[in-house]
Amino acid sequence: MLPKLDHNAAYIFAIYGLGAFGMAAMTLSIMLKVRAARKEFERMENLDKS
């Protein structure tokens, strides 16, 4: 399953892992922040209507 790499395999996996983790963490953080912003906007809009 894992690719057969030379003695630097750990460095290579660390680089790919860091890339995946960095992008996933940024995605999650933005999604949570944006969800909160949308909810707040919807709350204010409902307040407008009521």
Partner 1 sequence: MGMFSYLSNPMRFMRFSRIAAPVVAVLGVVMIAWGAWQGLYIVPKDEVQGGDIMRAMFVHVPSAWLAMGSYTGMAIASFVWFIWRHELADIAAKAIAPLGATWTALCLTTGGIWGKPTWGTWWQWDDARMMSVLFMFFLFLGYIALRAAMDTRQKAARAGAILAMVGAINLPLIKFSVDMFASLHQDASVITADGPKMAAVYLTPLLISALGQMCVFSALAMVSMRGEIWTRRAAAKRAKHLSGA
Buried residues in 2-33 as b, exposed as e (16+ CB within 10 A): eeeeeeeeeeeeeeeeeeeeeeeeeeeeeeee
CA 31/CA 6 separation, integer angstroms: 38
Interaction with partner 1 in 1-50: which residues (CB under 8 A)? 3, 5-6, 8-9, 11-12, 14-16, 18-19, 22-23, 25-27, 30-31, 33-34, 37-38, 40-41, 43-45, 47-48
Q: Which residues bind partner 1 (CB under 8 A)?
A: 3, 5-6, 8-9, 11-12, 14-16, 18-19, 22-23, 25-27, 30-31, 33-34, 37-38, 40-41, 43-45, 47-48
